[in-house]
Copies of this chain bind each other. A is one copy, B any other.
Amino acid sequence: MSFDIGKNIHLTIFGQSHSKAIGAVIEGLPAGFKIDMRALKAFMARRQPGQKGTTARHEADQPVILSGLVDGFTCGSPLAMMIENTDARSADYKDFKRVPRPMHADYPAFVKYEGYNDIAGGGHFSGRLTAPLCFAGGVCLQYLGKQGVKIAAKLISAGGVRGKKMQECIASAQDAGDSVGGIVECCITGVKAGVGDSGFDSLESSLSRVLFSIPGVKGVEFGAGFEAAFMKGSQHNDAWCFDKEGNVRTRTNNHGGILGGLSTGMPIVFRVAFKPTPSIALPQESVDLKTGKSTVLKIKGRHDPCIAVRAVPCVEAAAALVLCDYML
């Protein structure tokens, strides 16, 4: 659960779905930065359940600041926060060490931790840990905002459909006890040319590293992405040009704002593929690790029909953490 970002920001996220609390410690923020707690809570609320197309669970997710703020300003000491867990129903999960849920980490976690993993609510593999991620990313978004950087993600496809039909598609999957996948597209503007690094610290390396830590992500692509593999150089290449103010731009943006791991000054554009929610109401085949026999599992409880919906602010948070680290 190590969340070390680049060289300036160090983020540690702790907690399990049903532990006393989950939280985050952020080191490396500059002192004297005023955090707008109202805006931060509004940002975090975007990933909370209870929205259309999400679970009915109520999670207040109120962040409690433990340290690092004095009179609303960062003081140079680590910013620590926690969210107390209140609405836990551990009993729902108790059998999953014996009969692992398909498409969840239950089985490999059982092997890795030799049975000592916290199974309740998925333990620290739970999507719930994206709440402290959004807290940390939300702080970074505010910092970037002051530098003129804007980050905006949106759901562009769900269950294979786009636009207004997405809500319908999600609702109909939910009614059928099923779920759907989705694609989130993110666009970052206001980043000057030359931000980033080469090698393992390329912008794409750092962004994809954090993005793939969000539960359910199956693919990340920049600019033209996989489509580029089907193109010719003469189609794909973006020509350099000057805009009216004399700034260097490209006529098209197939490169997605990054070349050689560095920002080019064009909008940074990437897409993230989310799998369908693994917890579905339909009966599923699994194994009983005690008896060594096949069995059928029926997952109860409340689950999002499309995790990509609530993942939108998580994608923004991930991007903000990475950009903030480079720009500090």
State in angstroms the CA–CA spacing of A80 and B21 once bound together: 9
State in angstroms the CA–CA spacing of A15 and B27 once bound together: 11
Q: Within 8 Å of chain B (Cβ to Cβ): is A145?
A: no
B210 touches A200 (CB 8 A): yes
Contact A20:B64 (CB < 8 A) given known A219-B220, A262-B108, A273-B229: yes
The interface residues of chain B lying within 8 Å CB-to-CB of A265 are 108, 111
Count of chain A residues with Cβ under 8 Å from any Cβ of B?
A: 146
A105 touches B262 (CB 8 A): yes
B198 touches A125 (CB 8 A): yes
Q: Within 8 Å of chain B (Cβ to Cβ): is A165?
A: no
List A residues 254-300 near B (Cβ within 8 Å).
254-256, 259-265, 271, 273-280, 282, 284-287, 289, 292-294
**Of B200, B230, B280, the contact of A234 (CB 8 Å cutoff):** B280
List A residues 17-51 near B (Cβ within 8 Å).
19-23, 25, 27-28, 31-32
B218 touches A224 (CB 8 A): yes
Q: Within 8 Å of chain B (Cβ to Cβ): is A76?
A: yes
* Nearest opposing residue in chain B for A276, CB measure: B233
**Of B75, B76, B108, B218, the contact of A226 (CB 8 Å cutoff):** B218
Determine, out of A3-11, A52-60, A146-154, the stretch whose residues face the partner at the interface: A3-11
B78 touches A1 (CB 8 A): yes
A80 touches B236 (CB 8 A): no
**Of B73, B182, B213, B223, the contact of A218 (CB 8 Å cutoff):** B223
State in angstroms the CA–CA spacing of A115 and B193 once bound together: 13
Q: Within 8 Å of chain B (Cβ to Cβ): is A112?
A: yes
A76 touches B112 (CB 8 A): yes
Can you offer 8 A-B residue contacts whose CB atoms are under 8 A?
A2-B27, A2-B28, A31-B113, A178-B234, A181-B230, A202-B213, A208-B220, A233-B276
Known: A16-B70, A103-B237, A111-B192. 9 other contacts (CB 8 A): A4-B10, A16-B68, A103-B255, A105-B261, A108-B196, A173-B232, A183-B229, A224-B275, A241-B285
